[in-house]
């Protein structure tokens, strides 16, 4: 390396980078050989990107279209080099892609660490180890690169010891592509051993569709070490599970193996394509980002075209893998693809297959399905809203918590199968959080009568139930909206008794309405409550409070918010006390307290907490005073 360095610059990593790097080195040390997979994976991606761009501009090949990855060792210098003749990088790209370890989500990632090495190593894998895994075995890494199609003088050299900064300079590089040289740490000599390297390449990178080349043992020329054929083109029964798993780690940039996969060749009337699609074991950090970094990769006749999260609908955005089409034109651009009919058909086919895979897991591998649901259930729920065509299939895949089940694993089919004699509806409750759901006063009558209620508390659930109005002909009914309608489950004797009580409470109801004017739409006697004194109920079509606050938080205008109905339990001693209260000030205070505690029981926020405390203390003092007297 004797060329002159131009424009040398020393640049510091971001604040969190050192931490991420230290952690990676420590937590991945027991799997240190993964660095090789990561570097080869990047080199293969670079080759595939060039192959695609060269479809439109042959000149990018600079006369060399034989794409390869070379692995070289220099025993004297104790270096290992992974080199490719792929797309290469400009100086700015090196700064942006290689100089940036800490990307979106880094802080969240660091906060999620537990200090437990085994757990943290899984987390860091999920975060994406990539290029920086080189520092597990190297105390200095040099990267030289030159972008395809730019002059040789615009090469770049990047070097770092991973200690907080890197140096970058412009160099002359006649060869296009990237070479990453690892200056191995003391004791890492196994990575200078060609036999060991061959073994690792076959284990991790056999399926890489680009030839990986090493010098022959006898020093006589080069040889290809891997199979170098696209895995998905091989017959299913000839592919071992570990080959599927290694391929997943490469396409998905995941450190852990997949949860499940499907490999299928579709030969339709007008399209032929192959799907190799995977479900990850764990949700990635950017699952909730608007623009996730990764998605499914599209190939046309084995040529990589693009990686696009939009190849799958949003509610299946966790799916990874490849779609390889025989029928799309090779010279497609991203824009054309967005509107391509054939691609639309392929996407529709892929969605069906993924739903099929999920159904299969749910039926035959419930443990795996449980893992899937824990990681991605919230995302799948969006499908009910987003994909009306498959609403029924998706509804069958949903899992819920219920008043009968602590584990959150009830399917709608389970629920329907154990509905009570005479029960016509699927009852559910959407609450602020799990506790508020489980302890909600709205459930009292249902518990009393032994009717199961599904419990929901995720933000997406409000939308879910707005779109999922029925399942197998059974309407879904909120237990917190509208008149309590138990249909044929209602008891005639109870109805009569209630009419009698209503008479006795007429005056009291009027007075409470007056006391709470402006806060509630109405005050009624409750048939839902057995233990609590009061609860709030919404108009059958009104927006729930929670939906209102979600809409407000997302900056949307909420039309004149609908006030709730206060339902009171005439059998509760406090309510009886209120009915007989003659002091109008105390009557008012008690009425407000009933309302406020109904809000609190829902997990809601009081509009005027100070007033609540004042009233509450006044009554408390009175009660205590009475006791002392
Ligand atoms: N050999 C290479 N040739 C060209 N570009 C490369 C090469 N290696 C890395 N890059 C660029 O640097 C980026 C970062 O690589 P890195 O391995 O750190 O992360 P990644 O592969 O994007 O994702 P992950 O961290 O999830 O594996 C790549 O996305 C690519 O743009």
pLDDT tens per residue, range 56-104? 899 999 999 999 999 999 999 999 999 999 999 999 999 988 877 656 5
pTM of the model: 0.81
Look at residue 132 in the predicted model and tell me its pLDDT: 86
Query: 131 alpha carbon to ligand 1 midpoint, in Å?
Result: 6
Do 283 and 290 meet the contact criterion of CB atoms below 8 Å apart? Answer: no
> What ipTM was reported for this prediction?
0.96
- For the chain, the straight-line distance linking the first and the last C-alpha, in angstroms and rounded, comes to 96
Point out the ligand 1 atom lying closest to the alpha carbon of residue 42: 8
Do 47 and 67 meet the contact criterion of CB atoms below 8 Å apart? Answer: yes
* Alpha carbon of residue 332 to chain centroid: 30
Is 38 annotated in some ligand binding site?
Answer: yes
Whose alpha carbon is nearest atom 21 of ligand 1?
Answer: 130
Range with the poorest average pLDDT among 284-293, 356-365, 565-574: 284-293
Per-residue pLDDT tens digits for 574-603: 999 999 989 999 999 999 999 999 999 888
Residue 369 has pLDDT above 90, yes or no: yes
What is each CA distance from 135 to 18, 32, 115, 377, in whole angstroms?
11, 9, 20, 36
Residue 344 has pLDDT above 60, yes or no: yes
Look at residue 2 in the predicted model and tell me its pLDDT: 47
Residue 3 has pLDDT above 80, yes or no: no
SS3 141: strand
- Ligand 1 site residues (CB inside 6 A) read 38, 42-43, 46, 84, 86-87, 89, 97-98, 128, 130-131, 178, 253
Is 189 annotated in some ligand binding site?
Answer: no
Task: Look at residues 286, 276, 283, 281 and name the one whose alpha carbon lies nearest to residue 233.
Answer: 276
Side-chain-side CA neighbours of residue 627 (13 Å)? 6
* Backbone torsions φ then ψ of 354, nearest 5 degrees: -65, -40
Is 555 annotated in some ligand binding site?
Answer: no
Query: 53 alpha carbon to ligand 1 midpoint, in Å?
Result: 17
Mutate to test the pocket of ligand 1, among 49, 96, 130, 144 (most ligand atoms within 8 A of CB): 130
Mutate to test the pocket of ligand 1, among 68, 70, 97, 135 (most ligand atoms within 8 A of CB): 97
Tokens of 63: 């006369």
Do 583 and 590 meet the contact criterion of CB atoms below 8 Å apart? Answer: no
Is 240 annotated in some ligand binding site?
Answer: no
Task: Tell me which residue has tokens 């360095």.
Answer: 5
Tokens of 453: 């209620």
**β-strand pairing of 454-456 with 426-430:** parallel
């Amino acid at each position: 390396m004797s060329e002159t360095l131009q424009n040398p610059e020393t640049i510091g990593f971001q604040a969190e980078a050192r931490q991420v790097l230290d952690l990676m080195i420590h937590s991945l040390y027991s799997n240190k050989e993964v660095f090789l997979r990561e570097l080869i994976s990047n080199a293969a991606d670079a080759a595939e990107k060039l192959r695609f761009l060269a479809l439109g501009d042959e000149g990018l090949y600079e006369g060399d279209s034989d794409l390869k990855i070379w692995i070289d060792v220099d025993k004297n210098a104790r270096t290992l080099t992974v080199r490719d003749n792929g797309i290469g990088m400009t100086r700015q790209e090196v700064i942006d892609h290689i100089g940036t370890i800490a990307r979106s989500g880094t802080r969240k990632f660091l906060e999620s660490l537990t200090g437990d090495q085994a757990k943290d190593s899984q987390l860091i894998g999920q975060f994406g180890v990539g290029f920086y895994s080189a520092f597990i075995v190297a105390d200095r890494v040099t990267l030289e690169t030159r972008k395809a199609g730019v002059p040789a003088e615009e090469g770049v050299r990047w070097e770092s010891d991973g200690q907080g900064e890197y140096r970058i300079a412009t160099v002359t590089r006649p060869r296009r592509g990237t070479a990453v040289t690892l200056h191995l740490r003391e004791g890492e000599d196994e990575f200078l051993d060609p036999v060991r390297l061959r073994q690792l390449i076959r284990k991790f990178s056999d399926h890489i569709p680009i030839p990986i080349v090493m010098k022959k043992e006898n020093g006589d020329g080069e040889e290809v070490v891997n199979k170098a054929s696209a895995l998905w083109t091989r017959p299913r029964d000839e592919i071992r599970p570990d080959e599927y798993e290694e391929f997943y780690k490469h396409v998905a940039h995941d450190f852990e193996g997949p949860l499940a996969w499907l490999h299928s060749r579709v030969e339709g009337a007008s399209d032929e394509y192959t799907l190799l699609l995977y479900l990850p074991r764990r949700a990635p950090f950017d699952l909730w980002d608007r623009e996730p970094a990764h998605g499914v990769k599209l190939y046309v006749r084995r040529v990589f075209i693009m990686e696009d999260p939009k190849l799958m609908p949003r509610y299946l955005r966790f799916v990874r893998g490849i779609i390889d089409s025989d029928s799309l034109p090779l010279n497609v651009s991203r824009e054309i693809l967005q509107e391509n009919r054939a691609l639309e058909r392929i996407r529709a086919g892929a969605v069906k297959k993924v739903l099929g895979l999920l159904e299969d897991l749910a039926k035959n591998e419930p443990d795996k399905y449980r893992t899937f649901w824990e990681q991605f259930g919230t995302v799948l729920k969006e499908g009910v809203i987003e994909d009306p065509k498959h609403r029924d299939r998706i509804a069958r895949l949903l899992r819920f918590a219920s008043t009968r089940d602590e584990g959150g694993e009830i399917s709608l089919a389970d629920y329907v199968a154990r509905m009570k004699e005479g029960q016509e509806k699927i009852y559910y409750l959407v609450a602020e959080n799990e506790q508020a759901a489980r302890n909600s006063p709205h459930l009292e009558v249902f518990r009393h009568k032994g009717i199961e209620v599904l419990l929901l508390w995720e933000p997406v659930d409000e939308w879910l139930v707005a779109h999922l109005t029925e399942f197998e002909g059974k309407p879904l009914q909120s237990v917190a909206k509208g008149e309590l309608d138990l249909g044929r489950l209602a008891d005639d004797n109870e109805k009569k008794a209630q009419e009698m009580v209503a008479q006795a409470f007429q005056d009291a109801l009027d007075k409470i309405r007056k006391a709470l004017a402006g806060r509630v739409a109405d005050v009624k006697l409750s048939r839902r409550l057995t233990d609590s004194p009061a609860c709030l109920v919404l108009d059958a079509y009104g927006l729930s409070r929670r939906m209102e606050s979600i809409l407000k938080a997302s900056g949307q205008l909420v039309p004149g918010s609908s006030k709730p109905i206060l339902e009171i339990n005439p059998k509760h001693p406090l309510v009886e006390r209120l009915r007989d209260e003659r002091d109008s000030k105390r009557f008012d205070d008690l009425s407000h307290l009933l309302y406020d505690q109904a809000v609190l029981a829902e997990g809601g926020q009081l509009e005027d907490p100070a007033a609540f405390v004042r009233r509450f203390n006044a009554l408390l003092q009175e009660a205590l005073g009475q006791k002392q007297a």
